[in-house]
Structure 1
Amino acid sequence: MSEPDIHLYTAATMNGYKPVIFLEEAGVPYDLTFVDFSKQEQKAPDYLLLNPNGKIPTVYDRAEGRAIFESGAILWHLAEKYGQFLPSDPVARSEVMQWTLFQVGHIGPMMGQAMYFQRIAAPNGHDEPFSIKRYVDESRRLLEVMDTRLDGREWIAADEYTIADMMLYPWARAYVWAKVDVDGLSNLKAWFDRIDARPAVQKALTIPKAQPQFWDENADPSAFLKENAARFATDVKKA
């Protein structure tokens, strides 16, 4: 049996789930390598040849003989390669690109910092209320931008389910882990419900590993919180 075109290197993080969501939604065969942060596998020389930034995810496209890194570039590549979840109309494609970059440039960095200062820095002895408030407040503002955009719309761009939704969902839906309040954001919550109901998404969120504490307010985060803080303790010490 021949190998699938797509080999995915990923981990169970907000960025790591994005290409899994696409591949499961599109029904594309792929194989997967789990990148273990605790072993610093993302910094291994062989991996850095694929992704010079030493992050996840990365895709190796065997048919093209090349690697693609950065989640937005990966989803754009997959959408063009398989002709799914990216409209052909230039204006609609531009909308998808704009909201994809909104995630890359705003939602991801701000919510990521909200998570870092609360879930990693504070447990390692660096409790910084000013930084926490700054990133939590900005994350809330960005979710309000999404809520306004979704007023009267089912999907974030192009009036259809696209890679822009797949890019934004893992981050925005992880408001629980970022400790960002979503009260009053009814359009955003309805969008969460629509994507939560998609079987391929729910399957994707278990690959390579389910992390219910990211999304579920009723999940007990205590064990993972300790593990996660310890895993990134060296980053805090470097800072």
Structure 2
Amino acid sequence: MIDLYTWITPNGLKISIALEELGLDYHAHTIDITRGDQFSPEFRRINPGSKIPAIHDRDTGVTLSESGAILLYLAEKTGRLMPPTGPARLEVIEWLMWQMGGFGPTLGHAHYFLTYNAGQSPMAEAVFAKETRRLYETLDARLTGREHIVDEYSIADIAIWPWVSRYERHKIDLNDFPQVMRWYLALAARPQVRRGYEVPHFTGAIPTP
């Protein structure tokens, strides 16, 4: 059994979707970051950094935070969603790092400047709108002629997809990125993705263009 400490953010959704895809038993604990639950003494014993998601694996005793690290742990624990060796494994890690280091942080800033605080900082809006579009172009190019980010469905897809599901907050029209659109809708149709998207609670249907 895995205890998942999470909230309805792209980083949280990565882990619930992965757990659903892997068919692992888990219990979701709601950490409402809008109320400051992440700063509670109870949660800080799980993650002193006060950020979701985090897990505790009752079977192995492992407690882990940082969504990319958790995805790697789950893939290695089960031997699934990432090739065990070879170039394809490195590519999965490469695209996971692309999401962790660029796509996710940039899109997080896009949420802040383009949606939640529009009109407050024109320079920041211009910078993040331009970089957001560049990253979507990179993803679209990668998916040209490919069903998935790497050869087979992997934690790279799972890491990137929840961020794309916020495309409206990025002021992105997915019709401008047909390969991303195709890939996004294909994953959105997966029952495991749909179940994971509703953790820790249902907030609405998966957005579709």
TM-score past 0.5 threshold: yes
Alignment: residue pair count:
209
Structure-1 separation of matches of 2:203 and 2:138: 26
Q: Moved runs in structure 1, 4+ residues, more than 4 A?
A: none
Is the CA contact (8 Å cut-off) linking 2:46 and 2:54 kept in structure 1?
yes
Structure 2 matches for 1:36-75, cutoff 5 A?
36-75=32-71
Structure-2 separation of matches of 1:39 and 1:174: 22
TM-score by length of 1: 0.82
Is the CA contact (8 Å cut-off) linking 1:173 and 1:215 kept in structure 2?
yes
Structure 2 matches for 1:73-222, cutoff 5 A?
73-122=69-118, 127-157=120-150, 159-212=151-204, 215-216=207-208
Q: Tell me the alpha carbon deviations over residues 25-54 of structure 1, each in whole angstroms, 9 at most, x when there is no partner.
A: 111110110001233110112312221221
Structure-1 separation of matches of 2:48 and 2:129: 30
Q: Tell me the alpha carbon deviations over residues 119-170 of structure 1, each in whole angstroms, 9 at most, x when there is no partner.
A: 3334xxx71122112112211110110110111100001x100000000000
Percent sequence identity over matched residues? Answer: 39
Q: What is the letter of the counterpart of residue 110 of structure 1?
A: T
Q: What is the letter of the counterpart of residue 152 of structure 2?
A: E
Q: What is the letter of the counterpart of residue 178 of structure 2?
A: S
Structure-2 separation of matches of 1:214 and 1:110: 21
TM-score by length of 2: 0.94
Q: Which consecutive residues of structure 2, in runs of 5 or more, have no partner in the other structure?
A: none
1:95–1:17 CA distance, 2 compared to 1 (3 A) = same
Bigger CA radius of gyration: 1
Q: Which consecutive residues of structure 1, in runs of 5 or more, have no partner in the other structure?
A: 218-239
